[in-house]
Structure 1
Amino acid sequence: MGKRRLHSFRAGFIGAGLALSACSTEPDNQKLAEVEAQHVRDAADAGRIFCALNGEQHFQLNCTLDRIASADGQLLMLGRADAGYRRFRITSDGRGVVTADGADEARVSLMDNGLIEVAVAQDRYRLPATVRR
């Protein structure tokens, strides 16, 4: 192979490499959402959940999850890092969960991949959910 042809081949190979690297730096948002959802489900199965307490912007895996059967139905007790807790009742009317005690109401937001975000006062929790259409 002549020098000119080799140089042309190298330039084309480097150009193709740069084009591929430019494309590969963009995140696949759907894949990221799926990975996050699986991480939330795995943590909840182990009794841990992601929460952002007292108005914090970022979620951390520092709250606990206990499921309790009661005469009124299934309850979730979400333990807080500051030794407090919140109790929620699982509903079958499409709302997801409601507060089981306390004056503050739960605001439930549907997220991607079978997750919900539950907000009460300045606290937010991410939970796996069975989403029905």
Structure 2
Amino acid sequence: MTPNLATAGALATLLLLAGCGDADTGPLEPTPGSTRIACAIGSDRFAERCFVERSDTAEGTVLTVRQPDGGFRRLRLTPEGPVAADGAEPVTVTSRSPQEIEVAIAGVRYRLPAELGKGA
């Protein structure tokens, strides 16, 4: 029996849906050049489970912070400190110590080394 077009379409749909699942499929793996940082998502406690990558772009230096749930934020560094790269959400920066800042955006908080958050 040869599959017809409807059967093939249904099979393709099932395969696509199988790829959609729980976003938290396990621990987040670092990418080369990334740094592990503490983060707190919503009311969660801080834990070292996020990663940050620094890259130079045409718009300036950008930090990409990756969360264990698959979410991420892009922060553009300015002389005043990090801002949302897309400008959509306000960013609050708090100095915790000379070595560490806390960046809050849309209910997620990240603790970054102070030197990582310095812009041009």
TM-score for both structures, normalised by structure 2: 0.64
RMSD of equivalent CA atoms: 2.0
Instruction: Map Cα deviations across residues 54-81 of structure 1 (whole Å, 9 max, x no partner).
Output: 232x210110111111011110000011
Looking at CA atoms only, which structure, 1 or 2, has the larger radius of gyration? 1
Q: Tell me how far apart the structure 1 counterparts of residues 77 and 61 of structure 2 sit (CA, whole Å).
A: 6
Aligned partner of 2:70 among 83, 95, 114: 83
Aligned partner of 2:101 among 108, 116, 121: 116
Higher percent of residues as strand = 2
Aligned partner of 1:51 in structure 2 is: 39
Measured after TM superposition, the shift of residue 119 of structure 1 is: 0.3
**Conserved in 1, the CA contact under 8 Å of 2:34 and 2:54?**
no
Count of matched residue pairs: 85
Unaligned stretches of 5+ residues in structure 2: 1-32
Measured after TM superposition, the shift of residue 50 of structure 1 is: 0.4
Q: Tell me how far apart the structure 2 counterparts of residues 103 and 66 of structure 1 sit (CA, whole Å).
A: 20
Unaligned stretches of 5+ residues in structure 1: 1-44
Runs of 4+ in 1 over 4 A off after TM superposition: none
Tell me the percent identity.
40
Higher percent of residues as helix = 1
Aligned partner of 2:83 among 77, 91, 98: 98
Q: Tell me how far apart the structure 1 counterparts of residues 64 and 43 of structure 2 sit (CA, whole Å).
A: 20
Q: Tell me how far apart the structure 1 counterparts of residues 83 and 49 of structure 2 sit (CA, whole Å).
A: 22
TM-score for both structures, normalised by structure 1: 0.58
Q: Tell me how far apart the structure 1 counterparts of residues 93 and 111 of structure 2 sit (CA, whole Å).
A: 10
| 1:64 correspondence with 2:51 | yes
Measured after TM superposition, the shift of residue 102 of structure 1 is: 5.5
Structure 1's 46 and 78: CA in aligned 2 closer, same or farther, altered over 3 A?
closer
Measured after TM superposition, the shift of residue 47 of structure 1 is: 1.5
Measured after TM superposition, the shift of residue 46 of structure 1 is: 5.6
DSSP 3-state at the match of 1:50: strand
Q: Tell me how far apart the structure 2 counterparts of residues 112 and 123 of structure 1 sit (CA, whole Å).
A: 20
